[in-house]
Amino acid sequence: MPEHDAAATARMVEQEGCPIVEVLDHVAGKWAIGIIVAAAPGPVRFTELERAVDGISRRMLTLTLRRLERDGLLTRTVYPTVPPKVEYSLTDMACELHASLLELTSWAERHRMAIARARAAYDVAHSAAG
Amino acid sequence: MPEHDAAATARMVEQEGCPIVEVLDHVAGKWAIGIIVAAAPGPVRFTELERAVDGISRRMLTLTLRRLERDGLLTRTVYPTVPPKVEYSLTDMACELHASLLELTSWAERHRMAIARARAAYDVAHSAAG
DNA sequence: CAGAATCCTCGCCGATACTG
DNA sequence: CAGTATCGGCGAGGATTCTG
Residue B29 has pLDDT above 60, yes or no: yes
Kindly tell me if the per-residue pLDDT of A16 is higher than 90: no
Taking the CA of residue B44 and the nearest CA in chain A, the distance in Å comes to 20
- The pLDDT, as a whole number, for residue B6 is 73
Handedness of CA A31, A37, A38, A40 (dihedral sign): positive
pTM of the predicted protein model: 0.93
CB contact under 8 A, A27 and B117: no
Q: Do A119 and B4 touch (CB under 8 A)?
A: yes
Check residue B1 and give its pLDDT: 45
Instruction: Report the pLDDT averaged over residues B37-62.
Output: 96
Please state the rounded mean pLDDT for residues B34-60.
96
The average pLDDT across B121-125 equals 91
pLDDT value of position B3: 55
**Residue B128: what pLDDT?**
66
Q: What is the dihedral of CA A71, B130, A48, A64, to 10 degrees?
A: 40
From CA B46, how far away is CA A130, in angstroms rounded? 21
> For A104-126, how does the pLDDT look when each residue is reduced to its tens digit (9 = 90+)?
999 999 999 999 999 999 999 98
Cβ B16 vs Cβ A108: under 8 Å: no
A55-84: average pLDDT: 96
- Candidate CATH numbers 3.30.870.10, 1.10.10.10, 1.10.287.3510, 3.40.50.12280; the one for domain A3-129: 1.10.10.10
Query: C12 C1' – A92 CA distance, angstroms?
Result: 32
Q: Quick: pLDDT tens for B77-104.
A: 999 999 999 999 999 999 999 999 999 9
A14 has a pLDDT exceeding 70: no
For the CA of B35 and the C1' of C8, the distance in angstroms is 34
Contact between A64 and A35 (Cβ < 8 Å) = yes
Looking at A2-6, A108-112, B5-9, which range is the least confident one?
A: A2-6
Tell me if A112 sits within 8 A of B18, measured CB to CB. Answer: yes
**Distance, Å, B3 CA → C9 C1':** 20
Residue nearest to nucleotide C13 (CA to C1'): B60
Identify the pLDDT of residue A1.
Answer: 45
CB contact (8 A) between residue A119 and residue B69: no
